[in-house]
Amino acid sequence: MSDGRVINFGAGPSALPTDVLEEANKGLLNFQGTGIGIAEISHRSKEFTAFLNEAESHIRTLLEVPSTHKILFTQGGGSGQFSAVVLNLLARHRLLHPQLKDEERVMDYVVTGSWSKKAMQEAGRLGGGRVNIAADARRYSNDGKAFNSVPPHDDYAFSADPALIYYCENETVDGVQFSDDLSSPASFPFEKLTQGALLPLVADYSSSFLSRPIPRLADHAVVFAGAQKNLGPAGLTILIVRQDCIVDVDAAAKLGATPVPITLSYKTLADHSSLYNTPSVLPIYIAGLVLRKMSDGGGLQVYAQSNRQKFEKIVAALKNGEEKDVFKAKVKDGSVSWMNIVFDVPGEGRQQKFLDGADKRGMKGLAGHRSVGGVRVSLYNAITQQDTDKLVGYMNEFVADTV
């Protein structure tokens, strides 16, 4: 049944392992011998509950999630969480500091690309606090408009006692990612945060979740991720929330905080073990199979090492093309994402020629995001070394043919 499949380098929804999809086919008609398909079974059945618990346990083990943090499953994607983190963490801040005025509740946003910018705009829309741009990557680009590097540590200006501190670990559109090497100048500046405090640090990990370990996970208040990159189908959002950030939003509303829609309240999700209402059972199922495969396959370090290799292979091919003036990297060295490598193919019609050639060779999804153009190579977990080698071969061939 896997005949005719192409290599999908798309940025999301994105490639899933073929063996997982074949396994899912069985579950779609008959989940674990129940005689009922996974899309049809009650989310409160003992079989599904056990499956959900197993999925949670895989995430806890793979990412070494400490017992201070809950793992929650919800719907609505990263964009849903742009609102939810603001509402929940402003409620928390209200309970901690009931006397402050709205303009004294500061939300620090680190803006390194399109997604963190969108998250910041949502915080501004919702009000109830004041947005502070703690750092802005555009300051370091030539035109002041492009997002093409992680800002240097000196640039960050965090507020005292903010309601939240927000960053997007990997910018899917712009291809900018924080380094996981904390000695790198392109890492997140954890040393500039108040040490030892329960900081409201929020990270959007949508497009790098489970691709490698999360540095300083324990110091985060909320890590969230849409599933549709490394993990599973769209329609599932994973939250890792420190327990002090699971607050009584209704008590906060009585003190003047904005009321939180019931399904966006972290307390609702936590109190009902992610089953307050019907979750997206089928996306959870496929994500659970991917998680099981990851655990069986040796854990996160195996994937991290493989992802590093894939990244280095594509970057080498990109450098080769740059030396011969065929490709032009869009992101500065050190800030280049492992997951989404973006570059231009300058010259009349050449980019289309590159994409068409890839398409002809069975490699799809390589066009850049519609807002920025160019080429984007997404190297999520389901992309194999062999897939990567095929693209590298084509990139080198294209360079040789062009010069």
How far is residue 210's CA from residue 302's CA, in Å, rounded to a whole number? Answer: 11
At its nearest, how many Å lie between a second copy and the CB of residue 76? 5
Least Å distance, CB 67 to a second copy, is 29
Report residue 216 as tokens.
């300083």
Residue 161 a catalytic site member: no
**C-beta closer to a second copy: residue 50 or 262:** 262
Query: Smallest distance from the beta carbon of 64 to a second copy, in angstroms?
Result: 28
- Single-letter amino acid code for the residue at 176: V
One DSSP character per residue, 282-304 reads: HHHHHHHHHHHHHHHTT-HHHHH
Least Cβ distance, residue 161 to a second copy (angstroms): 23
In the bound complex, what is the minimum distance in angstroms from residue 11's beta carbon to a second copy? Answer: 8
Of 108, 233, 92, the residue nearest 165 (C-alpha): 108
Please answer whether residues 85 and 109 qualify as being in contact, where contact means their C-beta atoms are separated by less than 8 angstroms.
no
Residue (16 or 399) nearer to a second copy, CB: 16
Distance separating alpha carbons of residues 210 and 284, to the nearest angstrom? 15
Amino acid at 325: D
Give the active site residue among 70, 108, 115, 174.
Answer: 115
Strand order across the 222-226 sheet: 69-74, 237-242, 222-226, 201-204, 164-168, 106-111, 130-136
Report the 3 state secondary structure along 98-166. Answer: CCCCHHHCEEEEEECCHHHHHHHHHHHHHCCCEEEEEEEHHHHCCCCCCCCCCCCHHHCCCCCCCCEEE
- How many Å apart are CA 394 and CA 149, to the nearest integer? 27
CB nearer a second copy, residue 26 or residue 97: 26
- How far is CA 79 from its chain centroid? 11
- Let me know if 204 is a catalytic residue: yes
Check if 338 is active-site. no
The secondary structure of 253-268 as a DSSP string is HHTTPPP--GGG-HHH
Sequence-ordered list of residues with C-beta below 8 angstroms from that of 50, at least 6 positions apart, any chain: none
CA-CA-CA-CA torsion for 159, 165, 169, 170, nearest 10 degrees? -90
Q: Which of 108, 174, 180, 204 is catalytic?
A: 204
Q: Which of 70, 117, 229, 310 is the catalytic position?
A: 229
Min CB(365)–a second copy separation in Å: 7
For a second copy, the closer of residues 259 and 347 by Cβ is: 259
Q: Which residues are catalytic?
A: 115, 204, 229
